């Protein structure tokens, strides 16, 4: 009989731990939380110091029964849920259920290795009630906001909506960026490049950077042409040459937010997917004869601290694998940002004898991608800087100054194994041209002007958030914590407050309306600074510097007063969202109006409740006909809209229910197939294009085909693409041809991974 019981959160983690612990340990899993606030009511006594009414989560009765039976047979119960606020709360709830047991201790481990587990079991502690209170305060705050504000949305917009204390602030950030973009007015500006040559007629380009010592302000073609006219009469002379070496230091090891950002840029992983895979790598992957093995340290952390034993091990690895030149004399040290709790190490591999290549047959494709990313980043953080030889040249042409620069990699350093991915921004121009190589020039050299290239540009609005850039913004603003970033984004998407198109976050009409109502009526609660301050207060509770009840009391008093003040205004707010139309109700002759419902906006008779006529908004006004007859009844076919997008349907509905997908006008490219490529939608609502003969033909494309043959390779169609930098354009799916000269917005990887 096992003398000890170790209780963890997940079955996968328990399997990994069992191989270290032997026969004296029984390892059981809670499978997440066992207790929570009830779903059917508020579950918080606001009049009695916010006392929570915890109930057992549905379906957890067998789990608790099993834990009690195992605890009764054990001398010591080790409470080992994850080492964070949520894990501490789970340990606390388990302890409550097993409170009659004679000995229970808390145990935590940052990595699931034999040495870490052994050390943790030798250094147990009591449950940290400050951590529990911090989690409890967060849970109650979220419940108060969700259960008090959500009904307000039901009464002002429509039923079924919900508000979240942190998610709604993230929605506000997205909506405000959208407003910036829509309000943006492009400004014209011009750049002027000169094609110059030295005495040996070696040509290079240089950009106009100053006019009489000031940054150029060229806002129309007349000014650009005037400058070009003067430049053609000017003598170009090298005024100054500066040569130097530039060091590029390696990035710090991953924390939760940077891992999510990099995985999104590199692999298009959502934060939710990144954390799911990271959890698998942390809890343990079956490595054949070696059995379940935890491959990375705990993945919810905001600290860049690395254990000294791990630093020593990775430095030895770097020296053996890459040589002494790649190892700095002293370990690289990194500082965590202000306010970090520093409870856990940075994210790193648990073992340095498990290189990614050696695990290919054990890991899924996505597991290998993420593990390789973590592995390479950890190696890089303790490697030497990359070194570049740089040259900067200033060229004078009368009152005009031109600049050129060159940069050549002299020593790759950490770039040997790792290169950060770059996500394109709005690209509003640079004042210097950076070349790979410049001619061997000297100060005072006269240059020959070969040509001038004036080019018109327009300033671009700020880029919409990607999932990576939103996580970065949330972290910078102090919104959320490592354990919440993934949930924030997935919740907004699940609620259909935002949609993801071309890897960018767009607020939906519903999201914009919800945000408008929340910001106008709860300006403080859903304010960025207020929410960041609340996160800081929760950190104070965790450290024991603040009482959790006081934090809740200071929040709830003004919050409840605000709610009471809005009670009489709900009807007026709802009316303000009603839009008038010129449509007339065919049943009673009253005007039709646009209202919000559970499935979005719809047309309703303004004479409600006397007239209850409603119809889909998409069918308002003129019906869109297609030049086609129904194959079953001969009635005209029309274009309708449904929950999965537009489709062609018989106008004689509901008597005739014939429907078909809208063709793109492109024939299926698969050899021998006679089908058409039609627009479809996945179960999650994402648009894609596939063969009309599915399942007989499995052709699919995420990009809309256009019936235009590629002039470069003859491929029968091009596809519509989009990038933030240049908008819509056409590209060939078979070769590199694009209808514009610009490239598609994709992550740019400068060098290969090691």
Angle, CA of 115, 116 and 122, to the nearest 5°: 90
Of the candidates 645, 734, 737, which has an alpha carbon nearest to the alpha carbon of residue 682?
645
- Report the chain's C-alpha Rg in angstroms: 31
Between CA 149 and CA 163 the distance in angstroms is: 6
Secondary structure class of 701 (helix, strand, coil): strand
Secondary structure class of 82 (helix, strand, coil): coil
Looking at the predicted structure, is the pLDDT value of residue 749 above 70?
no
Between CA 278 and CA 269 the distance in angstroms is: 12
Average pLDDT of the chain is: 89
Of the candidates 32, 31, 3, 10, which has an alpha carbon nearest to the alpha carbon of residue 121?
3
- Tens digit of pLDDT for each residue in 409-424? 999 999 999 998 877 6
Q: What is the mean pLDDT of residues 530-535?
A: 94
Q: What is the mean pLDDT of residues 168-197?
A: 94
Q: What is the mean pLDDT of residues 720-739?
A: 74
Question: What are 744's two structure tokens?
Answer: 């598609």
Instruction: Tell me the DSSP string of 241-267.
Output: EEEEEEEEPPPPPB-HHHHHHHHHHHH
Instruction: Tell me the DSSP string of 312-343.
Output: HHHHHHHHHHH-GGGS-SS----PPPTT----
Three-state secondary structure of 477-511: HCCCCCCCHHHHHHHHHHCCCEEEECCEEEECHHH
Q: What is the pLDDT of residue 376?
A: 97
Looking at the predicted structure, is the pLDDT value of residue 606 above 50?
yes
Helices (H) and strands (E) in the chain, counts: 17, 34
Secondary structure class of 135 (helix, strand, coil): helix
Looking at the predicted structure, is the pLDDT value of residue 156 above 60?
yes
Q: What is the pLDDT of residue 140?
A: 97
Residues in the chain, overall count: 754
Question: What are 142's two structure tokens?
Answer: 């979220």
Instruction: Please list, in sequence order, all residues whose beta carbon lies within 8 angstroms of the beta carbon of residue 107, skipping any fewer than 6 positions away.
Output: 6, 78, 79, 80, 120, 121, 124, 125
Secondary structure class of 15 (helix, strand, coil): helix
Q: What is the pLDDT of residue 672?
A: 82
Percent of the chain predicted with pLDDT > 70: 92
* Strand-strand pairing, 76-79 and 4-8: parallel
Ranking 338-352, 510-524, 568-582 by mean pLDDT, the lowest is 338-352
Looking at the predicted structure, is the pLDDT value of residue 741 above 50?
no
Q: What is the pLDDT of residue 641?
A: 58
Q: What is the pLDDT of residue 697?
A: 86
Q: Grade residue 100 by pLDDT with cuts at 50, 70 and 90.
A: confident
Secondary structure class of 678 (helix, strand, coil): strand
Instruction: Please list, in sequence order, all residues whose beta carbon lies within 8 angstroms of the beta carbon of residue 196, skipping any fewer than 6 positions away.
Output: 203, 204, 205, 206, 236, 395, 402, 447, 448, 449, 450
Instruction: Provide the β-strand partners of residue 195.
Output: 205, 451
Q: What is the pLDDT of residue 635?
A: 79
Looking at the predicted structure, is the pLDDT value of residue 190 above 60?
yes
Instruction: Provide the β-strand partners of residue 142.
Output: none
Q: What is the pLDDT of residue 328?
A: 97
Instruction: Please list, in sequence order, all residues whose beta carbon lies within 8 angstroms of the beta carbon of residue 224, skipping any fewer than 6 positions away.
Output: 190, 192, 218, 454, 456
Looking at the predicted structure, is the pLDDT value of residue 654 above 70?
no
Secondary structure class of 159 (helix, strand, coil): coil
**Dmax of the chain from CA atoms?**
97
Helix (H) or strand (E) holding 16: helix 11-21
Contact 421, 153 (CB under 8 A): no
- Tens digit of pLDDT for each residue in 449-489? 999 999 999 999 999 999 999 999 999 999 988 889 999 99
Q: What is the pLDDT of residue 481?
A: 87
Q: Hey, what domains does the chain have and what are their CATH numbers?
A: 4-127 (3.40.50.140), 161-184+466-567 (1.10.460.10), 188-249+386-458 (2.70.20.10), 256-381 (1.10.290.10), 575-619 (no CATH)
Secondary structure class of 176 (helix, strand, coil): helix
Q: What is the mean pLDDT of residues 57-76?
A: 94
Q: How far is CA 59 from the centre of its chain?
A: 32
Q: What is the pLDDT of residue 695?
A: 81
DSSP letter assigned to residue 112 = -
**Burial (0-12, 13-18, 19+ Cβ within 10 Å), 335:** exposed
Looking at the predicted structure, is the pLDDT value of residue 431 above 90?
no
Q: What is the pLDDT of residue 581?
A: 84
Q: Grade residue 389 by pLDDT with cuts at 50, 70 and 90.
A: very high
- Tens digit of pLDDT for each residue in 341-356? 667 899 999 999 999 9
Contact 744, 738 (CB under 8 A): yes
Three-state secondary structure of 445-458: CEEEEEEEEEEEEE
Contact 372, 360 (CB under 8 A): no
Looking at the predicted structure, is the pLDDT value of residue 747 above 50?
no
Contact 89, 132 (CB under 8 A): yes
Q: What is the pLDDT of residue 742?
A: 36
Q: What is the pLDDT of residue 621?
A: 39
Q: Which residue has the higher pLDDT, 88 or 646?
A: 88
Instruction: Please list, in sequence order, all residues whose beta carbon lies within 8 angstroms of the beta carbon of residue 132, skipping any fewer than 6 positions away.
Output: 85, 88, 89, 92
Q: What is the pLDDT of residue 382?
A: 98
Using CA of residue 377, residue 382, residue 383, residue 389, what is the dihedral sign? positive
Three-state secondary structure of 597-649: ECCEEEEEECCCCCCCCEEEHHHCCCCCEEEEECCCCCCEEEEEEECCEEEEE
Q: What is the pLDDT of residue 745?
A: 32
Instruction: Please list, in sequence order, all residues whose beta carbon lies within 8 angstroms of the beta carbon of residue 321, skipping any fewer than 6 positions away.
Output: none
Q: What is the pLDDT of residue 623?
A: 46
DSSP letter assigned to residue 100 = T
Instruction: Name the CA dihedral angle for 694, 697, 699, 700, rounded to a multiple of 10 degrees.
Output: 10
Contact 104, 33 (CB under 8 A): no
Question: Measured between alpha carbons, how far apart are the two ends of the chain, in Å?
Answer: 49
Contact 655, 666 (CB under 8 A): no
Q: How many CA atoms lie within 13 A of 254 on its CB side?
A: 32
Question: What are 527's two structure tokens?
Answer: 């304010």
Between CA 174 and CA 505 the distance in angstroms is: 7
Q: Where are the alpha helices (DSSP H) in 47-128?
A: 61-73, 85-97, 114-122
Between CA 602 and CA 317 the distance in angstroms is: 64
Instruction: Tell me the DSSP string of 526-574.
Output: T-HHHHHHHHHHHHHHHHTSS-HHHHHHHHHHHHHHHHHHHGGGHHHHH
Ranking 142-146, 270-274, 731-735 by mean pLDDT, the lowest is 731-735
Of the candidates 340, 330, 339, which has an alpha carbon nearest to the alpha carbon of residue 305?
340
Looking at the predicted structure, is the pLDDT value of residue 507 above 80?
yes
- The pTM (predicted TM-score) of the whole model is 0.79
Contact 97, 34 (CB under 8 A): yes
Q: What is the mean pLDDT of residues 556-573?
A: 92
Instruction: Name the CA dihedral angle for 468, 472, 478, 481, rounded to a multiple of 10 degrees.
Output: 40
Using CA of residue 86, residue 87, residue 90, residue 96, what is the dihedral sign? negative
Q: What is the pLDDT of residue 388?
A: 95
Would you name the residues annotated as active-site residues? 298
Helix (H) or strand (E) holding 272: helix 271-283
Between CA 420 and CA 415 the distance in angstroms is: 9
Q: Which residue has the higher pLDDT, 685 or 42?
A: 42
């Amino acid at each position: 009989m096992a003398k000890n019981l170790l209780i963890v959160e997940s079955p996968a983690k328990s399997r990994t731990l069992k191989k270290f612990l032997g026969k004296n340990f029984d390892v059981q899993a809670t499978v997440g939380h066992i207790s929570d606030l009830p779903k059917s009511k508020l579950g918080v006594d606001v009049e009695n110091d916010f006392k929570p009414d915890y109930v057992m989560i549905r379906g957890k009765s067998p789990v608790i029964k099993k834990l009690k039976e195992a605890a009764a047979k054990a001398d010591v119960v080790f409470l080992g849920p994850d080492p964070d606020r949520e894990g501490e709360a789970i340990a606390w709830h388990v302890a409550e259920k097993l409170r009659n047991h004679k000995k229970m201790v808390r145990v935590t481990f940052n990595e699931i290795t034999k040495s870490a587990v052994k050390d943790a079991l030798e250094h147990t502690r009591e449950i940290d009630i400050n951590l529990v209170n911090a989690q409890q305060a967060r849970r109650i705050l979220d419940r108060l906001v969700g259960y008090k504000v959500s009904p307000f949305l039901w009464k002002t917009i429509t039923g079924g909506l919900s508000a979240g204390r942190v998610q709604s602030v993230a929605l506000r950030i997205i909506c405000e960026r959208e407003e910036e973009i829509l309000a943006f007015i492009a400004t014209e500006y011009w750049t002027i490049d000169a094609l110059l040559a030295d005495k040996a007629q070696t040509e290079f380009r240089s950009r106009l950077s100053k006019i009489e010592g000031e940054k150029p302000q060229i806002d129309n073609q007349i000014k650009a042409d005037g400058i070009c006219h003067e430049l053609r009469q000017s003598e170009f002379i090298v005024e100054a040459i500066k040569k130097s070496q530039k060091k590029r230091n390696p990035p710090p090891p991953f924390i939760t937010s940077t891992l999510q950002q990099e995985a999104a840029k590199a692999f298009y992983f959502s934060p939710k997917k990144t954390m799911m895979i990271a959890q698998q790598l942390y809890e343990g992957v079956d490595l054949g004869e070696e059995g379940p093995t935890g491959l990375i340290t705990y993945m919810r952390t905001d600290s860049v601290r690395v254990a000294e034993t791990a630093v020593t091990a990775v430095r030895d690895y770097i020296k053996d694998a890459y040589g002494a030149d790649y190892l700095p004399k002293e370990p690289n040290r990194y500082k965590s940002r202000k306010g970090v709790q520093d409870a856990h190490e940075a994210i790193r591999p648990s073992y340095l004898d498990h290189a990614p290549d050696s695990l290919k047959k054990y890991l899924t494709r996505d597991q290998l991608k993420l593990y390789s990313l973590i592995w390479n980043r950890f190696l890089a953080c303790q490697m030497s800087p990359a070194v570049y030889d740089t040259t900067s040249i200033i060229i004078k042409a009368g009152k005009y100054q031109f600049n050129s620069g060159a940069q050549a990699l002299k020593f790759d350093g950490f770039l040997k194994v790792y290169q950060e991915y770059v996500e394109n921004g709005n690209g509003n121009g640079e004042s210097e041209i950076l070349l790979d190589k410049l001619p061997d020039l000297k100060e005072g050299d006269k240059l020959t002007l070969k040509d001038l290239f004036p080019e018109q540009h327009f300033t671009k609005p700020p880029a919409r958030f990607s999932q990576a850039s939103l996580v970065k913004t949330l972290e910078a603003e102090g919104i959320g914590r490592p354990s919440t970033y993934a949930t924030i984004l997935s919740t907004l998407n699940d609620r259909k407050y935002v949609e993801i198109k071309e890897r960018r976050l767009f607020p939906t009409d519903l999201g914009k309306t919800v945000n408008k109502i929340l910001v106008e009526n709860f300006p403080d609660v859903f304010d960025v600074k207020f929410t960041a301050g609340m996160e800081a207060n929760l950190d104070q509770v965790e450290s024991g510097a603040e009482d959790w009840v006081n934090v809740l009391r200071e929040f709830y008093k003004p919050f409840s007063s605000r709610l009471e003040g809005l009670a009489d205004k709900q009807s007026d707010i709802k009316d303000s969202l009603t839009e008038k139309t010129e449509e007339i109700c065919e049943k009673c002759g009253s005007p039709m109006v646009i209202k919000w419902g559970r499935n979005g906006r719809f047309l309703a008779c303004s004479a409600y409740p006397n007239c209850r006529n409603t119809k889909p908004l998409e069918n308002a006004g003129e019906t869109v006909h297609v030049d086609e007859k129904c194959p079953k009844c001969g009635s005209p076919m029309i274009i309708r809209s449904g929950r999965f997008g537009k489709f062609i349907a018989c106008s004689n509905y509901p008597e005739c229910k014939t429907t078909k997908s809208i063709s793109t006008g492109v024939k299926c490219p698969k050899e021998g197939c006679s089908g058409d490529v039609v627009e479809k939608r996945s179960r999650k609502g994402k648009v894609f294009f596939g063969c009309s003969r599915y399942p007989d033909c499995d052709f699919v494309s995420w990009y809309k085909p256009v019936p235009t043959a590629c002039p470069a390779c003859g491929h029968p169609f091009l596809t519509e693409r989009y990038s933030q930098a240049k908008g819509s354009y056409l590209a060939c799916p078979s070769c590199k041809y694009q209808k514009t000269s610009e490239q598609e917005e994709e992550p740019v990887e400068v060098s290969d991974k090691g």
